[in-house]
């Protein structure tokens, strides 16, 4: 990559990013080969393929894939491209099938990826073996129900190693149900005319909340369920480009903190649920699981916003100035039906693409992308909170952690020195500035 992009200067409490990182076609092309072709990438949640033969097809890191639960019960991430001449073997976004038939020449593949049927097979010579023409199976693994894949067979890290400190936060989310979490049926696919990294930064940026989402804030204030403006909570770097922030909520939330909005009989059911969490996890962890808001950023393409419901965003680059976003809601499988309704309503009215918040976010990151056209100002500043021992939720520590990993990967030094650097940061409690 030509020239320095990330200017990380802890001595002077300065952290700047060259805006070519968001606009340059060459940077975008290199991100594909150095990040998306190598890293562990989020694909989906196990609950999206609950039955034998269930599948979802989607693009991950620009590549069409199918996440399928085979008839043997194993979840695989298969290339959605026919080994014959390349057509998509699955054109439905979701469904259930024992096999996938390529529409071009009718080659048929089992839901485990094996080629099982070829029309007019006598057209091929004696050396033709079906076993040579199965769908490519990408290396995949899951953590607490979250399925990831890597397109790099040589990727040295296991998924758990890649997730580093982010496992603590995935646990806080997965532990919200005794029987398991599930994606609420239906994904929302949308996009933005902005660089994909702007959405990653935005999703973990609490600094903008009261400024950009004024309409929502004044609406919630009018309901009387929002606490007065306050600071606090904390931001964390979790290693390997992941970050999070966490806050005892100012607004309402499932379980304990939605109580003011419920009639008394629902409230008492919620309190009973909260009491069970205290029994299982102890008061402190139960409070953290059921009562804190958090945003979790998993490098490079996953955001989980666990506030007013749980939103999972898979973010993918399309080009330097365009991204695609897949957005779903996650919930406890055994959720009280009244709470589920409220959760769905909050998802749709706040974090969904047509909610109170997301259109503001899309509009502002598209505005940033347009602002970069004025090349007089070369850098964006992400230094907020660098002077603090424990950065707050409104600080930009998670974004800095993202950019440090981005910089290591773009310079190919993650596997050597960067590896050790990140390890050291983790040992220091993930509080690296």
- Give the binding site for Fe ion (CB under 5 A): 357, 361
Q: How far is the CB of 86 from ligand FES (least distance, A)?
A: 6
Nearest C-alpha neighbor of 10 from the set 374, 429, 385: 385
Q: Is 78 in the site for ligand FES (CB under 6 A)?
A: no
159 binds, among ligand FES, Fe ion, none (CB under 5 to 8 A by kind): none
317/297 Cα distance (integer angstroms): 16
**Side-chain-side CA neighbours of residue 262 (13 Å):** 24
Give the burial string for 242-270 (b: 16+ CB within 10 Å, else e).
bbbbbbebbbbbbbbbbbeebeeebeeeb
Nearer to ligand FES, 3 or 119 (CB): 119
Stretch that binds ligand FES, among 13-21, 103-111, 259-267, 381-389 (CB under 6 A): 103-111
Q: Is 115 in the site for ligand FES (CB under 6 A)?
A: no
Nearer to ligand FES, 80 or 203 (CB): 80
Q: How far is the CB of 392 from ligand FES (least distance, A)?
A: 54
Nearest C-alpha neighbor of 327 from the set 37, 42, 78: 42
Q: How far is the CB of 44 from ligand FES (least distance, A)?
A: 24
Which helix (H) or strand (E) element contains residue 324? strand 322-332
What sections of 312-431 are H helices per DSSP?
337-346, 358-371, 397-410, 419-427
Q: Is 87 in the site for ligand FES (CB under 6 A)?
A: yes
Nearer to ligand FES, 104 or 124 (CB): 104
Q: Is 269 in the site for ligand FES (CB under 6 A)?
A: no
Binder among 74, 95, 104, 282 for ligand FES (CB under 6 A):
104
Nearest C-alpha neighbor of 5 from the set 308, 367, 405: 405
Binder among 17, 67, 82, 295 for ligand FES (CB under 6 A):
82
361 binds, among ligand FES, Fe ion, none (CB under 5 to 8 A by kind): Fe ion
342/186 Cα distance (integer angstroms): 17
As a whole number of Å, the end-to-end CA separation of the chain is 25
Dihedral (Cα; 209, 212, 215, 221), 10-degree rounding = 30
Binder among 75, 77, 102, 204 for ligand FES (CB under 6 A):
102
Which residues contact ligand FES by CB under 6 A? 82, 84-87, 102, 104-105, 107
């Amino acid at each position: 990559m030509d020239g320095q992009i990330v200017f990380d200067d802890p001595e002077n409490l300065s952290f700047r990013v060259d805006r070519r990182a968001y606009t340059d076609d060459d940077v975008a092309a290199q991100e594909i080969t150095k990040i998306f072709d190598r890293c562990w990438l989020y694909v989906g949640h196990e609950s999206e393929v609950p039955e034998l033969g269930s599948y979802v097809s989607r693009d991950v890191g620009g590549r069409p894939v199918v996440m399928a639960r085979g008839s043997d019960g194993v979840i695989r991430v298969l290339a959605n491209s026919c080994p014959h001449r390349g057509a998509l073997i699955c054109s439905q976004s979701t469904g259930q099938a024992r096999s996938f038939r390529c529409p071009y020449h009718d080659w048929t593949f089992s839901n485990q990826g094996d080629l099982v049927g070829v029309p007019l097979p006598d057209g091929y010579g004696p050396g033709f073996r079906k076993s040579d023409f199965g769908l490519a199976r990408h290396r995949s693994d899951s953590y607490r129900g979250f399925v990831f894949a890597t397109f790099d067979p040589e990727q040295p890290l296991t998924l758990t190693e890649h997730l580093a400190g982010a496992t603590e936060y995935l646990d806080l989310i997965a532990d919200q149900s005794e029987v398991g979490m599930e994606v609420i049926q239906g994904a929302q696919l949308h996009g933005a005319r902005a660089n994909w990294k702007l959405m990653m930064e935005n999703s973990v940026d609490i600094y903008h909340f009261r400024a950009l989402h004024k309409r929502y804030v004044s609406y919630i204030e009018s309901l009387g369920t929002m606490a007065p403006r306050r600071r606090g909570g904390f931001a964390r770097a979790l290693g390997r480009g992941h970050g999070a922030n966490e806050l005892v909520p100012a607004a309402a939330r499932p379980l304990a903190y939605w109580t003011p909005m419920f009639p008394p009989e629902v409230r008492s059911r919620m309190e009973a649920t909260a009491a069970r969490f205290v029994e299982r996890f102890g008061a402190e962890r139960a409070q953290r699981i059921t009562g804190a808001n958090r945003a979790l950023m998993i490098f490079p393409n996953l955001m989980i916003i666990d506030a007013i419901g749980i939103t999972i965003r898979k973010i993918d680059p399309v080009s330097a100035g365009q991204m695609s976003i897949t957005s779903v809601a996650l919930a406890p499988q055994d959720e009280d039906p009244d709470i589920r309704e409220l959760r769905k309503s909050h998802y749709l009215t706040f974090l969904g693409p047509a909610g109170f918040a997301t259109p503001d976010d899309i509009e502002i990151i598209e505005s940033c992308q347009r602002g970069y056209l004025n090349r007089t100002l070369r850098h964006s500043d992400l230094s907020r909170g660098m002077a603090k021992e424990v950065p707050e939720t409104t600080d930009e520590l998670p974004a800095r952690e993202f950019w440090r990993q981005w910089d290591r990967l773009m310079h190919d030094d993650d596997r050597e020195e960067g590896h050790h650097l990140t390890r050291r940061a983790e040992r220091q409690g993930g509080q690296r500035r």
